[in-house]
Amino acid sequence: MLPPTLSYLSGPGTTPLLGETIGENLRRTVARFGSREALVVAHQSYRATYNELWQQAGQLAKALLALGVAAGDRVGIWAPNRYEWVITQFGSARAGAVLVNINPAYRAEELKYALNQSGCRVLLLAPSFRQTNYQALLASVRAQCPALETVVVLGADWEAFLAAGVPVADEDLAEREAGLQFDDPINIQYTSGTTGFPKGATLSHHNILNNGYFIGETLRYTEADRVCIPVPFYHCFGMVIGNLACSSHGACMVVPAEAFDPAATLQVVQDERCTSLYGVPTMFIAELELPGVGQYDFSRLRTGVMAGSPCPEEVMKKVQTVLNMREVTICYGMTETSPVSAQSYVDDPLAKRVSTVGHVHPHLEVKVIDAATGHLVPRGTPGELCVRGYSVMLGYWNNPAATAATIGAARWLHTGDLATIDTEGYLNIVGRIKDLVVRGGDNVYPREVEEFLYTHPAVADVQVIGVPSLRYGEEVMAWVKLKEGHSATGPELASFCKNRISTTKIPAYWKFVDSFPMTVTGKVQKMVMREQAVKELGLEAAAAVKTA
């Protein structure tokens, strides 16, 4: 047979897809591994076996039923990594509620938008996180959120909230669970919008349970694995690659801190005898740069996942040697694909594991096309990456136009990423079509930042770009044209942004200009702006970093 010449791959599917809900899958894990540890949250001194996790998830599901939450109703959670987050993830799934993940970095306007766009009836929130008082922020917008009926503050209200579900009969919960289907929506995750408004990627049991399961299969997880999860739960990295990969295999979820802390992470890896560690490249860089990194015991570490933004080859090599993660893998994906579409194998040649994002996942298809014609391109030729299969989201919540613009009639999801497929079937991400900045694993859409900056009285025009960063992969930069007769400085504009948009979206660099580089047809040339910024800011070293 002639070798393939066009850029299409179909993932092997010898292991069948799981045709069950998240609750049904957890029930099977509990039956097999009930006495084994399921969840360890170091900063809260919390431990639970799978039997205890099942019981507590059931209590939460009953508490939602007691509030009158119906299957399909939206329940929001706004909190950093805590044990209650995991209980809520599994409990809401058992109740058939749609869990709305709210970014812990959100401020008042972003919170209001997410609550209203999703129609949240119930919100569980941490009292505060870092320097942000969540209760005060919620109070400032609650009157403008008509669907929100019940607020539960984690810690202060948690026990009373669970106790209110005690009168709900076991039979009532069992009846609710029996009526659920694995194609039901179960999760909404907001992604930054190119039009200035985030879009709610809507995911089903089938989407995220299977994706977590096949990630765990690729990592060769068993009930003996203990997985350190310093990445956030509000994102698919934490709740799918982390929690569902573990729960579907009986492995233990180990949470080191509310948010990433390199020393706390490595201490937990040692103390809890972790076999797997997750992170975006910036996290691994921080761990490798930690004074005394060689003093920790990494003898149990075997594997893990590096994902979220392009992975520098040299960092991958150090992770394998210094951290002893000989079988570390790279994952590629996006929220809209639940999230992972491709992953390197634990036994792939080192050169492929550090220079590509591996193989298409089981039961998925990928193709690389000419964005102008929609036709497949030859192997090795860059084009837009498209994904099809069980992992493709149901759509954007209450946004059929955005859904139709992303998912074609044949159910191919257009990622907006530029990719190549080599002759051996390895996938490589070489750039982005869509105007996106990936800062430390967080997606920042320039249009969203631009539209916010337009609200400043001194700003006439603004263009936001990403510039290379050794620490974050990319940083946000704004080129600003001021209104005649007005003045402003970078620090003043940054102060204007503070507490009004997420910290990750606030530009690190500001450049004041009279005009922007333009094409003859009047389009702003952001690539030219980026090249100029690299030279002016002295970022050549960061720009030269090779990534997979």
Same domain, 389 and 261: yes
Residue finishing a domain among 419, 448, 468:
419
| More confidently predicted of 413 and 429 | 413
pLDDT band at 203 (very low <50, low <70, confident <90, very high): very high
pLDDT, tens digit (0-9, with 9 covering 90-100), for 14-43? 999 999 999 999 999 999 999 999 999 999
User: What's the CATH code of the domain at 325?
Assistant: 3.40.50.12780
pLDDT, tens digit (0-9, with 9 covering 90-100), for 242-289? 999 999 999 999 999 999 999 999 999 999 999 999 998 889 989 999
Which of these, 457, 456, 453, lies nearest to 476 by C-alpha position? 453
pLDDT, tens digit (0-9, with 9 covering 90-100), for 212-251? 999 999 999 999 999 999 999 999 999 999 999 999 999 9
User: What pLDDT, on a 0 to 100 scale, did the predictor assign at position 519?
Assistant: 59
Residue 459 parent element (H or E): strand 459-469
User: What pLDDT, on a 0 to 100 scale, did the predictor assign at position 296?
Assistant: 98
Look at residue 3 and tell me if it is in a domain.
no
Same domain, 451 and 329: no
Residue 355 parent element (H or E): helix 350-355
pLDDT band at 539 (very low <50, low <70, confident <90, very high): very high
pLDDT band at 476 (very low <50, low <70, confident <90, very high): very high
Overall average pLDDT of the 481-491 stretch: 94
Same domain, 292 and 441: no
Same domain, 370 and 444: no
The verdict on pTM exceeding 0.85 is yes
Same domain, 392 and 516: no
Same domain, 159 and 265: yes
Look at residue 199 and tell me if it is in a domain.
yes
Look at residue 461 and tell me if it is in a domain.
yes
Same domain, 258 and 335: yes
Overall average pLDDT of the 91-115 stretch: 96
C-alpha to C-alpha distance for 488 and 458, rounded to whole angstroms: 7
Look at residue 347 and tell me if it is in a domain.
yes
Q: What's 503's DSSP letter? A: G
Residues of the chain above pLDDT 70, percent = 97
DSSP for 260-293 reads: --HHHHHHHHHHTT-SEEEE-HHHHHHHHTSTTG
Overall average pLDDT of the 482-498 stretch: 95
Look at residue 14 and tell me if it is in a domain.
no
pLDDT band at 194 (very low <50, low <70, confident <90, very high): very low
User: What pLDDT, on a 0 to 100 scale, did the predictor assign at position 527?
Assistant: 83
Q: Is pLDDT of 358 > 80?
A: yes
User: What pLDDT, on a 0 to 100 scale, did the predictor assign at position 4?
Assistant: 77
Order across the sheet with 276-279: list the strands: 46-49, 37-41, 252-255, 226-228, 276-279, 303-306, 327-333, 340-343, 359-360
Look at residue 13 and tell me if it is in a domain.
no
Same domain, 333 and 391: yes
Same domain, 260 and 358: yes
Residue finishing a domain among 391, 419, 447:
419
Same domain, 480 and 521: yes
User: What pLDDT, on a 0 to 100 scale, did the predictor assign at position 3?
Assistant: 66
User: What pLDDT, on a 0 to 100 scale, did the predictor assign at position 309?
Assistant: 73
333 alpha-carbon distance from chain centroid: 9
C-alpha to C-alpha distance for 100 and 239, rounded to whole angstroms: 12
The pair phi, psi for residue 306, each rounded to 5°, is -115, 125
Residue finishing a domain among 419, 447, 477:
419
Domain that holds residue 495: 437-542
**Cα-atom radius of gyration of the chain, to the nearest Å?**
23
User: What pLDDT, on a 0 to 100 scale, did the predictor assign at position 112?
Assistant: 96
Look at residue 221 and tell me if it is in a domain.
yes
pLDDT band at 190 (very low <50, low <70, confident <90, very high): very high
The set of long-range contacts for 194-199, using a CB threshold of 8 Å and a minimum separation of 24, is 194/434, 194/435, 194/445, 194/447, 194/448, 195/447, 196/447, 196/448, 196/450, 196/451, 196/452, 197/113, 197/117, 197/448, 198/110, 198/113, 198/114, 198/117, 198/448, 199/396, 199/397, 199/399, 199/402
Mean pLDDT of the chain: 94
User: What's the CATH code of the domain at 446?
Assistant: 3.30.300.30
Which of 49-53, 105-109, 520-524 tops mean pLDDT? 49-53
User: What pLDDT, on a 0 to 100 scale, did the predictor assign at position 32?
Assistant: 98
Same domain, 233 and 296: yes
10 Å CB burial of residue 340 (0-12, 13-18, 19+) is buried
pLDDT, tens digit (0-9, with 9 covering 90-100), for 294-326? 999 999 999 999 998 777 778 888 999 999 999
User: What pLDDT, on a 0 to 100 scale, did the predictor assign at position 448?
Assistant: 82
Give the per-residue SS3 of 416-442. EEEEEECCCCCEEEEEECCCCEEECCE
For the chain, the domain total comes to: 2
Look at residue 497 and tell me if it is in a domain.
yes
Same domain, 261 and 402: yes
Overall average pLDDT of the 83-88 stretch: 98
User: What pLDDT, on a 0 to 100 scale, did the predictor assign at position 346?
Assistant: 94
